[in-house]
Structure 1
Amino acid sequence: MVAVLRYLRGSCRQALGGFLGGFSGSASGRPRPLCGGSRRASTSSFDIVVVGGGIVGLASARALALRHPQLKIGVLEKEKDLAVHQTGHNSGVIHSGIYYKPESLKAKLCVKGSALIYEYCKQKGIPYKQCGKLIVAVDQEEIPRLQALYERGLQNGVQGLRLIQQEDIKKKEQGQHVTYENKQGLMAIDCPYTGIVDYRQVALSFAQDFQEAGGSVLTSFEVERIGMAKESSSESKEDLQYPVVIKNSKGEEIRCQYIVTCAGLYSDRISELSGCSPHPTIVPFRGDYLLLKPEKSYLVKGNIYPVPDSRFPFLGIHFTPRMDGSIWLGPNAVLAFKREGYRFFDFSAKDFMEIIMNSGLIKLVFQNFSYSVNEMYKACFLAVTVKNLQKFVPEITIHDIQRGPAGVRAQAMDRDGRLVEDFVFDGGVGAIGNQILHVRNAPSPAATSSLAISEMIADEVQQRFGL
């Protein structure tokens, strides 16, 4: 297995050619505030600390601050800026909720969350476009899957869905270039409620709401240890009120009563700090995007997606308009050798060793070996990806595209190699387990669902901690 991974990684290298705060070290010892007008934290002790400054952590902190204005709440982020990883590398799609199993949390939260995101963006004046989406069948064998997906969307309560035929696809503005072998796409689901937005802008707005509600955002604070204050016969008032100690890699401390962790790519490692099981583990999958050159952007007006294959966990290569006017093509889905590895050659020895020692991942790779090799192959050779894109827009040639950005998805996986598709909450062992709520898995589409997820997390916090 190790040899296979090394070979694939080496071959592709050759083909390519080569959350918050911390202390500033000032004499005052106060935490350094978030850049860009953040209020200066007046304390290093909080009633609740949220670990993780991505969109889910910030939405949850905001929900808690609005629901419990009497509490002191802080957010800790290891980076110097907020929302720079999964949130900052997101495709920006506001999903409708069509893909997910009826009655599942993912389906309910996505449908509810998309409505909340649209409403929030209107209230805050955040630009967005409800440009719609076509899910297009280009082979006869895809049509039954497309029809089943349409029925699933209806069961999930997705607004405005239509199952349209070949002649209707041609009438759709965003479908005017969607063809297959010089013929129009055979059948499609029209999802008019799908949209696009800049999720980092949304997340930073959540942070502003949180601070205006009295919350404190602390950046450059990488959590390394979580524990209870040492018991002694002469416990101070602070020890009793704020019994949990959070230390960063520099040995600096934050004290609190309760912790909520929304650590994304590091949710498993943060959970283990309080004695949780290492499972589910986080497996990083990188998605590489291509960019359609500006002079060809007229070819794509709305989102264009393939019919998903239920055998695989990803949606396949699609066409995504962006708020800046660019068109993203992709992504693929390849195993990343670093949790924050946005470039193909990014590598972490620690992350790589975890990968090759993970028996569940080995099972997953062998169960989907041909798919995995195909994704690696597409990552190396643009012509292969272009051939797939041409099934939908034949006008695209290899001269019309260039390599673009990439994102890394935090995919939770159990010990048997099954991908965890729903939410996972955890605590820990001993006294510390009563003070912590770990959000170990907030699966895609977490950005679309972030406001709905934050309400669920706030409910869980209130019930678990008796607030």
Structure 2
Amino acid sequence: MALDVIIVGGGIVGLATAHRLLEQNPNLKIALFEKEKAVAMHQTGNNSGVIHSGLYYKPGSLKAKNCIDGYHQLISFCEEHQIPFEITGKIVVASTEDQKPLLNNLFVRGQENGLEGIRKISVGEMREIEPYVTGVEGMWVPQTGIVDYRVVAAKLAVLNESKGVEMHLGEQVLSITKGQTLSIVETTKGTYETKLLINCGGLYSDKIAQMTQREPLDVRIVPFRGEYFKLREDKEYLVKNLIYPVPDPNFPFLGVHFTRMKRGGVEAGPNAVLAFKKEGYKKSQIDLKELWETLSWPGFQKVAAKYYETGFGEMYRSFSKAAFTKALQVLIPEIQESDLVEGGAGVRAQACDRNGGLLDDFSIVEDAKVINILNAPSPAATSSLSIGKTVAEMAISRF
């Protein structure tokens, strides 16, 4: 018997999508396929665990809407299922006078996005919140928080399975053939028929999407590795909660920052360097085929030409702990190289179009048989329940 929906990808977005679909129609026959033997093994399980407020995103964009809605939905979900989280607030720091206008732009954007309680703060007020921080001006964002998204994803998986979702872990999708009424999905363990396929493939979402159409995709996922250090336990007093710099408005990353983790410890980072493999969490992990696909993509070549100075700086910090420390000292001068121990790394699935544009917004593309989530990097974890609801509403009209 044919399935109603197959979801590809067992990260938090795929799990949340299944959850929201069942809320709208509990009778749907849904299967979720994840090539790993557990859920949340990639972007979901390797991020810094921040509950984002929606501060940074263009008003009216999918990121702004889904992040702000998702923030409230995530908190409600955690409260309902007794998942530990904290609303800590964060400060955004202008380190130099020429960053003040950028901080003000961010403040205005936060107001436009409906954030309540955000305010500009003086150096003295910054020091009251974070005693070791330095800068010329700051902004307080009370809505930001911390959670362990692996715990959220695990709860979603349990709920989905209890409601009848077939969880196919350790099963990779190999091909998708769209027919007149049904699509045929071949995996490493079998062949399945479905009325609708939803692609939540994260780092491989472009590969999954390409299986569903003959024409070449106009976007490609470029993997950027974000590497972290952790503060030594006896130095964790230097950071109370979350400290962020003013981000470069031309680059889709937030800059190195400090994050107290819900699962313990304080992370410092990340940088943003090209990963030589889609799931390349270490410098030594290289997949020549995937690397060539990235380097030969016309869009990436244009990105590299445009941001080569920034890229070299990020790469230098990747290989130089001293340079990484120097970047962190802009926010907390007391930090010393010896205070940092090697942390983990995550890989961001960043969509890049053929013309060299790094997609700033979430991208969801659909036809009658397929819904492809083609760009869902940060703040996708915060936004996941809202993205899931958005996709579920798109899907449910087909039934």
- Bucket of the pairwise TM-score, normalised by the shorter protein: over 0.9
1:80 equivalent in alignment to 2:51 = no
1:227 equivalent in alignment to 2:177 = yes
Find the counterpart in structure 2 of residue 177 from structure 1.
132
User: Contact 2:24/2:396 (CA < 8 Å) preserved in 1?
Assistant: no
Unpaired segments ≥5 residues, structure 1? 1-43, 180-184, 232-239, 428-432
Counterpart Cα distance in 2 of 1:376 and 1:221: 35
Find the counterpart in structure 1 of residue 165 from structure 2.
215
SS of residue in 1 equivalent to 2:253 = coil
The alpha-carbon deviation at position 210 of structure 1 amounts to 1.3
Between 1 and 2, higher relative CO (CA 8 Å, sep ≥ 6) is seen in 2
Counterpart Cα distance in 2 of 1:102 and 1:246: 38
Unpaired segments ≥5 residues, structure 2? none
Query: Which residue identity does 2:69 align to in structure 1?
Result: K
Q: TM-score, normalised by structure 2?
A: 0.97
Find the counterpart in structure 2 of residue 390 from structure 1.
329
Query: Which residue identity does 2:151 align to in structure 1?
Result: Q
Which of 182, 188, 202 is the equivalent residue of 2:152?
202
Which of 345, 352, 363 is the equivalent residue of 2:284?
345
Query: Which residue identity does 1:206 align to in structure 2?
Result: L
**Structure showing greater Rg:** 1
Counterpart Cα distance in 2 of 1:228 and 1:282: 23
Find the counterpart in structure 1 of residue 226 from structure 2.
287
Find the counterpart in structure 2 of residue 105 from structure 1.
62
Counterpart Cα distance in 2 of 1:68 and 1:194: 32
Counterpart Cα distance in 2 of 1:437 and 1:111: 23
Counterpart Cα distance in 2 of 1:137 and 1:381: 25
Q: TM-score, normalised by structure 1?
A: 0.83
Which of 149, 164, 182 is the equivalent residue of 2:106?
149
Find the counterpart in structure 2 of residue 327 from structure 1.
266
SS of residue in 1 equivalent to 2:63 = helix
Counterpart Cα distance in 1 of 2:331 and 2:209: 43
SS of residue in 2 equivalent to 1:188 = strand
1:186 equivalent in alignment to 2:120 = no
Instruction: Return structure 1 stretches of 4+ with deviation > 6 angstroms.
Output: none
Find the counterpart in structure 1 of residue 351 from structure 2.
412
Q: Deviations over 1:349-390 (max 9, x none)?
A: 110110121111011001011000110001000101111111
SS of residue in 2 equivalent to 1:449 = helix
Find the counterpart in structure 1 of residue 3 from structure 2.
46
Find the counterpart in structure 1 of residue 210 from structure 2.
272
Which of 118, 121, 139 is the equivalent residue of 2:78?
121
Q: Name the Cα RMSD after superposition.
A: 1.4
Q: Deviations over 1:428-449 (max 9, x none)?
A: xxxxx53211111223200000
1:307-456 equivalences under 5 Å are 307-427=246-366, 434-456=368-390
Q: Deviations over 1:63-108 (max 9, x none)?
A: 1112111121111111111110000101100001111111212111
Query: Which residue identity does 2:94 align to in structure 1?
Result: A
Counterpart Cα distance in 2 of 1:258 and 1:148: 42
Counterpart Cα distance in 1 of 2:253 and 2:363: 20
The alpha-carbon deviation at position 192 of structure 1 amounts to 1.4
Query: Which residue identity does 1:148 align to in structure 2?
Result: N
The alpha-carbon deviation at position 159 of structure 1 amounts to 2.7
Counterpart Cα distance in 1 of 2:15 and 2:87: 24
The alpha-carbon deviation at position 228 of structure 1 amounts to 4.2
User: Contact 1:49/1:76 (CA < 8 Å) preserved in 2?
Assistant: yes
The alpha-carbon deviation at position 170 of structure 1 amounts to 2.1
Q: Deviations over 1:328-354 (max 9, x none)?
A: 000000000100000011100110110
The alpha-carbon deviation at position 311 of structure 1 amounts to 2.0
SS of residue in 2 equivalent to 1:103 = coil
Q: Deviations over 1:271-304 (max 9, x none)?
A: 1111153221100000000110001001101100
SS of residue in 2 equivalent to 1:351 = helix
User: Contact 1:65/1:214 (CA < 8 Å) preserved in 2?
Assistant: no
Moved more, 207-216 or 318-327: 207-216
User: Contact 2:178/2:212 (CA < 8 Å) preserved in 1?
Assistant: no
User: Contact 1:265/1:282 (CA < 8 Å) preserved in 2?
Assistant: yes
Counterpart Cα distance in 1 of 2:85 and 2:162: 24
User: Contact 2:348/2:377 (CA < 8 Å) preserved in 1?
Assistant: no
SS of residue in 2 equivalent to 1:386 = helix
User: Contact 1:66/1:213 (CA < 8 Å) preserved in 2?
Assistant: no
Q: Deviations over 1:412-464 (max 9, x none)?
A: 0100110112232334xxxxx5321111122320000011111110111123x
Q: Deviations over 1:121-178 (max 9, x none)?
A: 1111000111111001111111111111111101101132111112211222xx1111
Work out the percentage of aligned pairs sharing the same amino acid.
42
User: Contact 2:223/2:275 (CA < 8 Å) preserved in 1?
Assistant: yes
Find the counterpart in structure 2 of residue 5 from structure 1.
none
Counterpart Cα distance in 1 of 2:70 and 2:112: 17
SS of residue in 2 equivalent to 1:447 = helix
Counterpart Cα distance in 2 of 1:456 and 1:228: 23
Number of paired residues?
A: 398
The alpha-carbon deviation at position 45 of structure 1 amounts to 4.2
Counterpart Cα distance in 2 of 1:94 and 1:256: 34
Counterpart Cα distance in 1 of 2:178 and 2:293: 28
1:298 equivalent in alignment to 2:237 = yes
Counterpart Cα distance in 1 of 2:68 and 2:370: 28
Counterpart Cα distance in 2 of 1:277 and 1:53: 25
